[in-house]
Chains A and B, each alone.
Chain A
Amino acid sequence: MDIDLITNILFATFKTGTPLILIALGEMVCEKSGVLNLGQEGMLLVGAVVGFIAASVTGNYFLATFCAIFAGMGMAFLFGYLSITLASNQVATGLALTIFGGGLSAFLGTNYIGIGLEGIQVWSVPLLSDIPVIGKVLFQHDPLVYLTLALFALVFWVFRSTRLGLKIRAVGENPEAANAIGINVQQIRFMAVLFGGAMTGLAGAYLSLVYTPMWSDGMSAGRGWIALSLVVFASWKAERILLGAYLFGFASILHLVLQGTRFEVPPNIMAMLPYVATIIVLVWLSSDAIKTKMSAPKSIGQPYRPLA
């Protein structure tokens, strides 16, 4: 393999990992507050189609990205209203949201299938992007790749050293106790769900405006589900989500590249590589049962209703 190939693989790793990071970080915040939102796939598709339509109609990618974010939040609001305000079963509601999102996005996108867009352009970092290899790998991306890293830093910081992070963890561990010391459990959970929706909407915009600037039914290809399991395997830790998502991206690209070489392994086996590699690494990282237990939100999936 020559240096160009390696550069291309690493470059593509960042691109492939980005939507997973966005979805998984949003879901992590949501789960930390005690809400399991299985509707990621549906929110992702709606975000993608709304972003694409907005971009097609207005030609303004900035506006389109915001439309996608709001679409994700709209879906999250629906989920939050049902599962938090009305205390419905989170698993059932989340699954319903995924099915609903799949249908809604297909309906909205009917007239937009087959249209191509230019997509959001690369935003090279001045000077740094001229460095050989590293410049191409790290500093010649579209703005959303950088934004994702900034959002990662934000989430990491919130949980590491802010009161808000403490509140979210408290609500997810023991909502009754949190209520007893005067934390508004419903409010924190709703904010977390809306944040998760915004992140997934943004990931949807990334898919339809950057990764493959077009719309097709079910274009999310299960990324919402992969991100959901990534959160668990990463033991609800932002830095491990980052690692796991990039690892997954790297392995996905690697298997495509290897198929083009004379490497004699059945392609179906190779297609499993990203999943297997990610799971092995993250399971190995989380093998300390006690530490994992410490970071898992204890009351996840349990609706909370303050006493009358």
Chain B
Amino acid sequence: MPAQESTIRLHLSGIRKEYPGCLANDDIELLVNAGETHALLGENGAGKSTLMKIIYGVIKPDAGKIVWQGDAIQMNGPAHARQLGIGMVFQHFSLFETLTVAENIALSLPAEESRNMEALSKRIREISAHYGMALDPDRHVHTLSVGAQQRVEIVRCLLQDIKLLILDEPTSVLTPQEVRELFRTLKKLAAEGCSILFISHKLDEVTELCNAATVLRNGRGTGRCNPQDVSSEDLARMMVGEDTPLNQNYQKAEGGETALSLNNLSFTPEDPFGVTLNNLNLKVKAGEILGIAGVAGNGQDELCALLSGEEITRADSIELLGQNIGAMSPDQRRRLGFAFVPEERLGRGAVPNMSLVENTLLSSSHRDLKANGWINYRKVREFSRDIIEKYNVKCANEYAQAKSLSGGNLQKFIIGREIEQQPKLLVCSHPTWGVDIGAAILIRHALIQLRDEGAAIIVVSEDIDELYQISDRIGAICDGQLSPVKPTHEVGIETLGQWMAGQFGHDSANPSTVESAHA
């Protein structure tokens, strides 16, 4: 794409970065103009994050040239990048939870600007008002919602004289409404001449927001284009290559016998920031996928913890295949055919420092992998290899540490591990969160297949498109209460949006009656 008319703000060429066993970036070219909103597209492991960290000075490239506003430069770390006017909002926020908003921001400013905290608070209020981002400078960061934490990160960048703002998958943690607010802010920023580098998997967002794009695949650039001129399908093709099927329409299923029922499930968490669950009633049938939508922090975590057995409750409030499991430990539940894919991959889904083989054993210990109390490592290893092969997990080998895998690959591994145990009930929390298109398709496909084999599946997700695509019935959770649950084709997006906001209509007085009508 010719860009001679406008001024070039950042030009990278021949960027190369090699890690042991992995060529993260290979001869990459990236050109960002002033005032341009530039998308950086690519699957997990394509090298986007590495490239961003090179621009922001967190890591040094092995080779390549960085030209910033016409001058070839050597980036000497994040402090240098910030001096040049480069700001970055990380996917995993780099905020300090025990400090207030103003203190967090003060830390990233030059000392002379942060001396007067009152003046700074005033500036924070002004800037956040100017860009339409509500923010209270005196609150502690750990009390803020994820969306608000992201606003802190953005405002932190805006307080300096910013020329290039890098956002690493900013929308993956936001509600649809927050995404719209963010886009308004970014458009305003771009109109004022700031360049934006926007990393995302979500093509519709890129099409809406960006006027240039660079696509990476396996550490190499596959081209620069204008997303306004190119169809989403073509962009997706450039990302995943030629041989991955893109869109799938899945047959909806009716389901059979009731596999799981929640009977007046109530729960008051010990954590003062947790959500109290109120009288939940729900029936999930064998051979169906039930989708639960909702904005994060409305009781999903508590519900999942109760289902998985991390929290226990009255025995008869959760019933799996006729057995009261509410008071059982996770291991007892797994023996009955329960499987669970938690939202946090590292820490709950897998132990970061353990190998994939050991991680396999962790949730499959009741399977045929032990004899007379001894672990049969040969079998465990074979089982891990099967998962890696079948679910196309990219890793060095089955002894790779869980934390060495990219998010999408680890998720494929965890989903595979759970599905291969042939569960009767599978609970998945955000199964494709932060996962690239190819992996997401594979994961959804595996879920549908498991459903067709007769398992009951609950998918808790914030990705509404995904829920519509794979759920047979759909409902929403808001403030610890469940909406009615109806067949997906009967629920319009407006209705679901109302449910997510807690407006359950006249059904809300007694959701259980609606539920039983479908059960």
Q: What residues of chain A have their CB less than 8 Å away from a CB belonging to chain B?
A: 163, 166-167, 169-170, 173-174, 176-184, 290, 294-295, 298, 306-308
Interface check B230, CB cutoff 8 A? no
Q: Select one of B59, B94, B103, B142 contacting A181, CB under 8 A.
A: B94
Q: List 28 A-B contacts (CB under 8 A).
A: A163-B111, A163-B114, A166-B103, A166-B107, A169-B98, A170-B99, A170-B107, A173-B96, A173-B99, A176-B94, A177-B90, A178-B94, A178-B107, A179-B58, A179-B78, A180-B56, A180-B78, A180-B88, A180-B90, A182-B79, A183-B107, A295-B98, A298-B97, A306-B77, A307-B58, A307-B59, A308-B59, A308-B60
- Measured in the bound complex, the distance between the Cα atoms of B59 and A308 in whole Å is 6
- Measured in the bound complex, the distance between the Cα atoms of B19 and A307 in whole Å is 11
Contact with A along B41-85 (1 / 0, CB 8 A): 000000000000100101110000000000000000111101000
Question: In the complex, which residue of chain B has the Cβ closest to the Cβ of A179?
Answer: B78
Residues B94 and A166 in contact, CB atoms below 8 Å apart: no
Contact with A along B94-120 (1 / 0, CB 8 A): 111111000100111001001100000
B78 cross-chain contacts in A, Cβ below 8 A: 179-182
Given contacts A163-B111, A167-B107, contact A182 B77 (CB under 8 A): yes
A298 cross-chain contacts in B, Cβ below 8 A: 97-98
Residues A173 and B98 in contact, CB atoms below 8 Å apart: yes
Q: What residues of chain B have their CB less than 8 Å away from a CB belonging to chain A?
A: 53, 56, 58-60, 77-80, 82, 88, 90, 93-99, 103, 106-108, 111, 114-115, 140, 142, 156, 272
Q: Known contacts A173-B98, A174-B96, A180-B58; can you find 11 more A-B pairs with CB under 8 A?
A: A166-B103, A169-B98, A170-B107, A173-B97, A176-B94, A177-B93, A181-B78, A182-B80, A294-B98, A294-B140, A307-B58
A307 cross-chain contacts in B, Cβ below 8 A: 53, 58-59
A179 cross-chain contacts in B, Cβ below 8 A: 58, 77-78
B107 cross-chain contacts in A, Cβ below 8 A: 163, 166-167, 170, 178, 181, 183
A295 cross-chain contacts in B, Cβ below 8 A: 98
A163 cross-chain contacts in B, Cβ below 8 A: 106-107, 111, 114-115
B58 cross-chain contacts in A, Cβ below 8 A: 179-180, 307
- Measured in the bound complex, the distance between the Cα atoms of B96 and A308 in whole Å is 23
- Measured in the bound complex, the distance between the Cα atoms of B111 and A169 in whole Å is 16
A182 cross-chain contacts in B, Cβ below 8 A: 77-80, 82, 108
B108 cross-chain contacts in A, Cβ below 8 A: 181-182
B80 cross-chain contacts in A, Cβ below 8 A: 182
CB distance from B73 to the nearest CB of A (A): 16
A181 cross-chain contacts in B, Cβ below 8 A: 78, 82, 94, 107-108, 156
Question: In the complex, which residue of chain A has the Cβ closest to the Cβ of B105?
Answer: A181
Question: In the complex, which residue of chain A has the Cβ closest to the Cβ of B157?
Answer: A181
CB distance from B69 to the nearest CB of A (A): 20
For the complex of A and B, the 4 pairs showing the least CB-CB separation, nearest first, are A182-B79, A177-B94, A181-B108, A180-B94
CB distance from B5 to the nearest CB of A (A): 34
B59 cross-chain contacts in A, Cβ below 8 A: 307-308
CB distance from A176 to the nearest CB of B (A): 7
- Measured in the bound complex, the distance between the Cα atoms of B109 and A182 in whole Å is 9
CB distance from B183 to the nearest CB of A (A): 24
Residues B272 and A290 in contact, CB atoms below 8 Å apart: yes
Question: In the complex, which residue of chain A has the Cβ closest to the Cβ of B90?
Answer: A180
Q: Select one of A177, A183, A184 contacting B95, CB under 8 A.
A: A177
- Measured in the bound complex, the distance between the Cα atoms of B108 and A170 in whole Å is 11
CB distance from B489 to the nearest CB of A (A): 45
CB distance from B307 to the nearest CB of A (A): 26
B99 cross-chain contacts in A, Cβ below 8 A: 166, 169-170, 173
- Measured in the bound complex, the distance between the Cα atoms of B259 and A290 in whole Å is 39
Residues B60 and A166 in contact, CB atoms below 8 Å apart: no
Given contacts A177-B96, A180-B58, A180-B88, contact A166 B106 (CB under 8 A): yes
- Measured in the bound complex, the distance between the Cα atoms of B90 and A170 in whole Å is 17
A170 cross-chain contacts in B, Cβ below 8 A: 96, 99, 107
- Measured in the bound complex, the distance between the Cα atoms of B156 and A167 in whole Å is 16
CB distance from B416 to the nearest CB of A (A): 30
- Measured in the bound complex, the distance between the Cα atoms of B141 and A169 in whole Å is 14
B60 cross-chain contacts in A, Cβ below 8 A: 308
CB distance from B230 to the nearest CB of A (A): 33
B114 cross-chain contacts in A, Cβ below 8 A: 163
B103 cross-chain contacts in A, Cβ below 8 A: 166
- Measured in the bound complex, the distance between the Cα atoms of B140 and A290 in whole Å is 13
- Identify the interface centre among B60, B107, B140, B272: most chain A CB within 10 Å of its CB: B107
A166 cross-chain contacts in B, Cβ below 8 A: 99, 103, 106-107
A306 cross-chain contacts in B, Cβ below 8 A: 77
CB distance from B291 to the nearest CB of A (A): 34
- Measured in the bound complex, the distance between the Cα atoms of B99 and A306 in whole Å is 23
- Measured in the bound complex, the distance between the Cα atoms of B272 and A307 in whole Å is 37
- Measured in the bound complex, the distance between the Cα atoms of B216 and A259 in whole Å is 78
B106 cross-chain contacts in A, Cβ below 8 A: 163, 166
- Measured in the bound complex, the distance between the Cα atoms of B151 and A217 in whole Å is 58
- Measured in the bound complex, the distance between the Cα atoms of B57 and A62 in whole Å is 47
Question: In the complex, which residue of chain A has the Cβ closest to the Cβ of B83?
Answer: A182
CB distance from B93 to the nearest CB of A (A): 8
Residues B96 and A169 in contact, CB atoms below 8 Å apart: yes
Question: In the complex, which residue of chain A has the Cβ closest to the Cβ of B81?
Answer: A182
CB distance from A294 to the nearest CB of B (A): 5
A184 cross-chain contacts in B, Cβ below 8 A: 79
- Measured in the bound complex, the distance between the Cα atoms of B90 and A174 in whole Å is 14
A174 cross-chain contacts in B, Cβ below 8 A: 94-96
- Identify the interface centre among A181, A294, A298, A308: most chain B CB within 10 Å of its CB: A181
B98 cross-chain contacts in A, Cβ below 8 A: 169, 173, 294-295, 298
CB distance from B185 to the nearest CB of A (A): 20
B90 cross-chain contacts in A, Cβ below 8 A: 177, 180
A290 cross-chain contacts in B, Cβ below 8 A: 272
- Measured in the bound complex, the distance between the Cα atoms of B53 and A176 in whole Å is 12
Question: In the complex, which residue of chain A has the Cβ closest to the Cβ of B108?
Answer: A181
- Measured in the bound complex, the distance between the Cα atoms of B278 and A173 in whole Å is 35
B156 cross-chain contacts in A, Cβ below 8 A: 181
- Measured in the bound complex, the distance between the Cα atoms of B88 and A179 in whole Å is 13
Question: In the complex, which residue of chain A has the Cβ closest to the Cβ of B60?
Answer: A308
CB distance from B346 to the nearest CB of A (A): 14
B96 cross-chain contacts in A, Cβ below 8 A: 169-170, 173-174, 177-178
Question: In the complex, which residue of chain A has the Cβ closest to the Cβ of B115?
Answer: A163
- Measured in the bound complex, the distance between the Cα atoms of B98 and A290 in whole Å is 11
B93 cross-chain contacts in A, Cβ below 8 A: 177
CB distance from B138 to the nearest CB of A (A): 15
CB distance from B56 to the nearest CB of A (A): 8
Question: In the complex, which residue of chain B has the Cβ closest to the Cβ of A183?
Answer: B107
A169 cross-chain contacts in B, Cβ below 8 A: 96, 98-99
CB distance from A159 to the nearest CB of B (A): 12
- Measured in the bound complex, the distance between the Cα atoms of B225 and A302 in whole Å is 44
- Measured in the bound complex, the distance between the Cα atoms of B99 and A177 in whole Å is 13
Question: In the complex, which residue of chain B has the Cβ closest to the Cβ of A180?
Answer: B94
- Measured in the bound complex, the distance between the Cα atoms of B95 and A307 in whole Å is 19
- Measured in the bound complex, the distance between the Cα atoms of B386 and A60 in whole Å is 76
- Measured in the bound complex, the distance between the Cα atoms of B53 and A180 in whole Å is 10
CB distance from A238 to the nearest CB of B (A): 16
CB distance from B33 to the nearest CB of A (A): 26
- Measured in the bound complex, the distance between the Cα atoms of B56 and A307 in whole Å is 13
- Measured in the bound complex, the distance between the Cα atoms of B101 and A166 in whole Å is 12
- Identify the interface centre among A170, A173, A184, A290: most chain B CB within 10 Å of its CB: A170
Question: In the complex, which residue of chain A has the Cβ closest to the Cβ of B94?
Answer: A177
Question: In the complex, which residue of chain B has the Cβ closest to the Cβ of A170?
Answer: B96
